[in-house]
Amino acid sequence: MKKTSTRLADGRELIYYDLRDDAVRDAVDRRPLDPTVTTSEVRHDPLLGDAVAIASHRQGRTYHPPADECPLCPTQGDRLSEIPDSSYDVVVFQNRFPSLAGDSGRCEVVCFTSDHDARFADLSEEQARLVLDAWTDRTAELSHLPAVEQVFCFENRGAEIGVTLGHPHGQIYAYPFTTPRTALMLRSLAAHKEATAGENLFDSIVEGELADGSRVVLEAEHWIAFTPFAAHWPYEVHLYPRRRVPDLLGLDEDARAEFPKVYLELLKRFDRIFDTGDGAEGSAGESPTPYIAAWHQAPFGALEDFDGVVREDFALHLELFTIRRTSGKLKFLAGSESGMSVFINDVPPEAAAQRLREVASS
């Protein structure tokens, strides 16, 4: 992998990640851009104890542009985009409309491929490995910023999720705090460790799923994927490396080498879940399966609020889930979910796992 860092016309950082070591990246951003102005502010909710980012400048962000005006495609002639070069493998750049900025953290966009019409599942294993290497490199770099406490790499796919740009891409949020979801995990981890004289909760969950077997979706030498016992979403898969590590930086070469094959297979299965069997995906005109893919990594900040827990107790894992519950129907977060944070799942996790096994590649 070759890494080349440059600057866009408004001063934002852009980084090329290339498969070839002889790649030359010297194109200049020719757009007449003014310096980026953001209004991001993190506010603390005294009742719930969580944080909310207020970012009014995002109201003006690019919204469903036509394909020939996509800002994530390479620059071609006089059609200028966020990427100055005429081609790329993987590109990461600072978001022009960030939810977090300055002392409130940082937001980056990850373009998985220059092919506008591709999906992550269409990438080769070599390309998918390059994305993993980019995620890892950005996690390492962002963790050193003074304002950053936790790094979150994720992909939103599909208009139903709220994606406003159709080009295959993901994002990285570098938070100035430990996120509420991670804090819940750390509290559960601490309680389990104390109650069991030192056992690790993540290890117990993975071992339990392997022993039960009914929710296991895929097993590989270095990775295990399963639907959790109390899945929140209709089709939800958790992917763990068999050797517990706290973050992407901790993965060894064997796990890194195997990840692309495993992850691409999971994504392809998600695209087959609602296949009607007649060659058409879902109901007439239905879009590909919308999903969120989210990496959970240990925070880099101090863990003194979680008695007895150290970073190495946390288990890196990826959560992949869709908001579609059946063909043509979405799972909405209505009163119980949005008002009380109590999820109601219409699809038993065991049935979801069975369906995901049925649609495995032959």
Q: In this structure, are residues 188 and 199 in contact, taking their beta carbons and an 8 Å threshold?
A: no
Q: In this structure, are residues 349 and 231 in contact, taking their beta carbons and an 8 Å threshold?
A: yes
Q: In this structure, are residues 242 and 224 in contact, taking their beta carbons and an 8 Å threshold?
A: yes
Question: SS3 sequence, the chain?
Answer: CEEEEEECCCCCEEEEEECCCCCCCCCCCCCCCCCCCCCCEEEECCCCCCEEEECHHHHHCCCCCCHHHCCCCECECCECCCECCCCCCEEEEECCCCCCCHHHCEEEEEECCCCCCCCHHHCCHHHHHHHHHHHHHHHHHHHCCCCCCEEEEEEEECHHHCCCCCCCEEEEEEECCCCHHHHHHHHHHHHHHHHCCCCCHHHHHHHHHHHHCCCEEEECCCEEEECCCCCCCCEEEEEEECCCCCCHHHCCHHHHHHHHHHHHHHHHHHHHCCECCCCCECCCCCCCCCEEEEEECCCCCCCCCCCCCCHHHCCCEEEEEECEEECCEECCCCHHHHHHCCCCCCCCHHHHHHHHHHCCCC
The first and second tokens of residue 281, run together, are: 């995906």
Say which of 44, 116, 167, 169 is annotated catalytic.
169
State yes or no: is 116 an active-site residue.
Answer: no
- Comparing CA positions, the residue from 155, 333, 360 lying closest to residue 233 is 333
Residues designated as active site: 169
